[in-house]
Chain A
C-alpha cells in the first residue's frame, strides 16, 4: 500500500450531516481510510443592497460558527478512525466538495442523501443530487438515520447487463481487495404481470449473465469472503429491491449511467429508483473511475 485512502465527508450540522459522518466511519473502518470532514460555507459576494451587508464581519462570524460545527463533527468520530476537519469556502456546496476531493486527492465523497421531510427513505437531497451529476470520484450516499456498524459484513453490487458492467466489476475488485467481507452480485428484473412469460426468460438470462460476472470477478479478486449471486424480481425496481434481504451492516455499489461523461457520475434511471427503497448506503461509481478506486 503506497498511500492511505481518504474520503471527503460532506458535513453540515444537521441530521443529514451526521448520517454522512456515520457512513464515513463505516467506510473508513472497512478500508482503513482516513476521513476529511469538510464543511462548505458560501462565499459572500458583494450584495447590491442599500445597506452595506458587512461581508467580512459576517464571514468571520460564519467561520467561527463553522469551526464550532466542525468540532461537534469531530466528536462524532470514534477513536479508532482518523479524521481531520476542514472549513472551506465555495460558491456552492457541491462545487466545494468536489474541489476538496481534488485537493485532498480523495477516493470518495461521502454525503447524507436524505432530503428530510418526506417519508421516503432515500429521496436524494439537493447537494447529493448535484454531486451525482458532477463528481469525478465515487459518491457514497448515506440513508436517513444511518448508524455505523462495527464492521461491514457484505457488499452488494447491482449489475446491469448493458455494456459498462466490467468497469463496475473492476471497482468491486478494488474495493473488496483483501477484505474478509461477503460479496453479492444482484440483477434487478422488472416483471410486468401481463407478460410473465417474458420475465422468466429475462430472469434466466440475468442469472446466466451473473454467472459470467462472477467468473470474471474471481479471476482478479483477492477477497476472502463468500461470493453469491441473486436475481431479484419485482413489479418495479423499488419492489425488486425490497424483495432482496439486506443486512444492517451492508453497503451497495452501483455504476453510473451511460449518459455520464467519462469520469463524471450521472445516476441512471434504475439506480435512481433503487435509491427509493434501498435500506443501506449506496456507493455510485463513475464510469471510468474504476482504475483509481481505493486500494
Chain B
C-alpha cells in the first residue's frame, strides 16, 4: 500500500481524502477467479428455484418441446447480455437499466426501464418467497413424517403470514448490509447441482423400472423448438426461457472484481451457461419422461402443481431422499430472496438520487450504509403484491412467473435497444462494434419486443396461465397491464412533483461519442 497522505491544515477546509491502495469504488477488486465467478453465476440463476417455478408453465405452453425451447430461449438472453456488457464497459459508473436507458433515450424511457426492473424484481421476490413457503412446510412434513404439515401452505393466512416472516428476515439481512459468504455460496451451489442430478437420475430409473407416473419414451424431436404447435406457444415458451436464464448476464458484467477482467468474465459466463444448459436439459428430459405432460396427479400439465413442480414430484421420484430436494429448493430460494433485495433497492436509490423517485429513496442508512428506505419499500411492496395475488388466485405462482417473463422481456428489451441507440454513432466503426454494439442487441431487443407483445395479447385469453380471470380477461394480462400503467401514472405524478429529472437536469442524455467519463 502506498504511504498515507499527510495533510495538516484545519479541519473545516480539508477535503475528504481517500486512502490509496484500495479500489476507489469500493469493489473488492481482483478477488474472484474463474471458479468463483462461475459459482456466482450459478447462484444468480438459482437453478433449483428456477426449475421448480418454470417447468410446469413451460410444459403447459410448449409440451414436450421444452428442452428445445430452453435451448432457443437462451439466444435472446445472449444477444442482450452482449449489449449489456458493452453498456457496462462504456458507462462503468452506471449499473442499472435505469441509468443506461436514461442516458441513451432520455428521462421518459429511462424511467420506464427502471420501473420495469423494479417491478420484475418485486414480482420475483414475491414468487421466491412463495416457493420458499411451500418448501418450508414440505420439508417440515418430510422431516416429521407427517404429510398434514405440507397442507398448511394451503391455508391462506398461514401462507401469507409465513411469507411475511421470510420477507422480513430477508429484508433485515439486506438492510444490515450482510452478504452471503463465499463458502456458503459454494456449498449451496454444489448442493443444488448434486440434488438436481440425483433427482433426474432417479426419475429416469423409475422410467426404466416401469414405476414412473406417466412414462413418456424419450424422443430426439423434443430438442426441436420449431415443432411447437403455434407461435403463441413458442412466444410464451421463450418468455419463460428468459426467466430461467435470468441472472446469467451478471457474470458478464463482473469486471473489476475478477482476477483477470479481460478473460475471466467471458470464460465464467461460458462455463456457467454450459453447466446450466446441461442441467436444464437433463432435468427437463427426466421430468418429461417421468411425469408426461398430462393433467393427472403428477402430470406437468396439472395446474395445481405446475407453479411448484418439485414440491409435488420430490416424494414420488426421490422417495425417502425427497427432503434433500426440498432443502435444495428452500435454500436456493431463500438465498436468492435475500440477494435479490439488493438490486431493486439500489435501483430505487439511484432513481431517488437523480430525482426520478422521491428523495427519500436515496436515503442511505448511516449505521449500515445500505439503501435503508428503498429496501424496506421493496419488502413491503413485494409482500403486499404476494398477499393480494394469493388471495385472488390459488395458482398464484404460475401466474406471477408468466407476468415475470413479460416484465423481464420489457426491461431487457428497453436496455438492449438503449444499447443500440447509445452506440449508434460508432456502430459502423469496426466489425466488432457492428456486431456487439449494434446487431446483437438490436436482434435481441427486437426478439424480446415481439415476444412481449405476443404474450401480452395472448394473455388476454382467460384460459392463459392458471386460467384465473377477472371478468373474462386473463389475470396475467391484467397484472402486466396494471403494473405497466401504474408505472406510467407514477411517472407523470413524479413529473408534476419534481420536473428536474424529466427536463434532463440530473442525468444527461447522450451517446457513446459525447466524451462522457
For A79, what are the chain B residues with a Cβ–Cβ distance below 8 Å?
10-12
Stretch at the interface among A54-62, A135-143, A150-158, A195-203: A54-62
Cβ distance B256 to chain A, nearest Cβ, rounded Å: 7
A48 touches B95 (CB 8 A): no
Q: Which of A44, A51, A79, A90 lies at the interface centre, i.e. has the most chain B CB atoms within 10 A of its CB? A: A51
Smallest beta-carbon distance A87→chain B, Å: 5
Contacts of A66 in B (CB 8 A): 16, 369
Identity of the chain A residue whose Cβ is nearest the Cβ of B32 in the assembled complex: A46
Interface check A89, CB cutoff 8 A: yes
- Report how far A172 CA is from B381 CA in the complex, Å: 57
Q: Which of B19-27, B144-152, B294-302 contacts A (4 or more CB under 8 A)?
A: B19-27
**Which of A68-76, A182-190, A249-257 binds B?**
A68-76
Quick check: A45 and B257 within 8 Å, CB to CB?
yes
Q: Is A292 an interface residue (CB 8 A)?
A: no
User: Which residue in A41, A61, A77 is a CB contact (below 8 Å) of B11?
Assistant: A77
Q: Which residues of A contact B180 (CB under 8 A)?
A: 48
Q: Please state if B247 and A50 are interface contacts (CB–CB under 8 Å).
A: yes
Output the least CB separation between A209 and chain B (Å).
Answer: 42
Residues of B within 8 A of A17 (CB): 366
The verdict on A89 contacting B23 (CB below 8 Å), with A49-B44, A50-B45, A74-B14 known, is yes
A215 to B4, CA, bound (A): 41
A47 at the B interface (CB under 8 A): yes
A285 at the interface (CB under 8 A from B): no
Q: A51 to B117, Cβ gap below 8 A?
A: yes
Contact of A83 with B95 in the complex, beta carbons under 8 Å: no
B472 within 8 A of A: no
CB nearest to B36 among chain A residues: A46
Known: A46-B32, A47-B339. A86 touches B95 (CB 8 A): no
Asked if A67 is an interface residue, CB under 8 A from chain B, the answer is yes
User: Which residues of chain A are within 8 angstroms of B339 by Cβ–Cβ distance?
Assistant: 47-49
Q: Are B350 and A54 in contact (CB under 8 A)?
A: yes
Interface size counted on chain B using CB atoms at 8 A = 71
A100 at the interface (CB under 8 A from B): yes
Q: What residue of chain A has the Cβ atom nearest to residue B174's Cβ?
A: A47
Beta-carbon contacts under 8 Å, B117-139 to A: 117, 120-121, 124
Total interface residues in chain A, CB < 8 Å: 57
Task: Enumerate B171-225 residues with CB–CB distance to A below 8 Å.
Answer: 177, 179-180, 185
Q: Which residue on chain A has the smallest CB distance to residue B253?
A: A52
Interface contact B43-A56, CB-CB below 8 Å? no
Instruction: Tell me how far the C-beta of A274 lies from the nearest C-beta in chain B, rounded to whole angstroms.
Output: 26
Evaluate contact between A53 and B369: CB separation under 8 angstroms.
no
- The smallest beta-carbon distance between B181 and chain A, in angstroms, is 10
A84 within 8 A of B: yes
A14 touches B24 (CB 8 A): no
Q: How far, in angstroms, from A290 to B46 measured CA to CA in the complex?
A: 53
Query: Beyond A57-B99, A84-B11, A85-B17, is A46–B366 a contact (Cβ under 8 Å)?
Result: no
Q: Which residues of B contact A34 (CB under 8 A)?
A: 8
Partner of A104, one of B4, B15, B16, B353: B4
With an 8 A cutoff between CB atoms, is A88 at the interface?
yes
Is A236's beta carbon under 8 Å from chain B? no
| Closest A residue, CB atoms, query B91 | A57
- Can you name 10 A-B residue pairings with CB atoms under 8 Å? A42-B26, A45-B31, A48-B336, A52-B95, A56-B25, A57-B350, A65-B364, A77-B11, A85-B15, A86-B18
Q: Which residues of B contact A (CB under 8 A)?
A: 1, 4-5, 7-12, 14-19, 22-28, 31-32, 37, 40, 43-46, 84, 92-96, 99, 117, 120-121, 124, 177, 179-180, 185, 246-247, 249-250, 253-254, 256-257, 335-336, 339-340, 342-344, 346-347, 349-350, 353, 362, 364, 366-367, 369, 371
Q: What residues make up the interface of A, taking CB atoms closer than 8 Å to B?
A: 4, 12-14, 17, 34-35, 37, 41-63, 65-67, 69-71, 74-75, 77, 79, 81-91, 99-100, 103-105
- Other contacts beyond A12-B367, A49-B343, A85-B17: 14, CB < 8 A: A45-B179, A50-B247, A51-B120, A51-B344, A54-B343, A56-B25, A56-B256, A66-B16, A66-B369, A82-B10, A84-B8, A85-B15, A88-B19, A90-B22
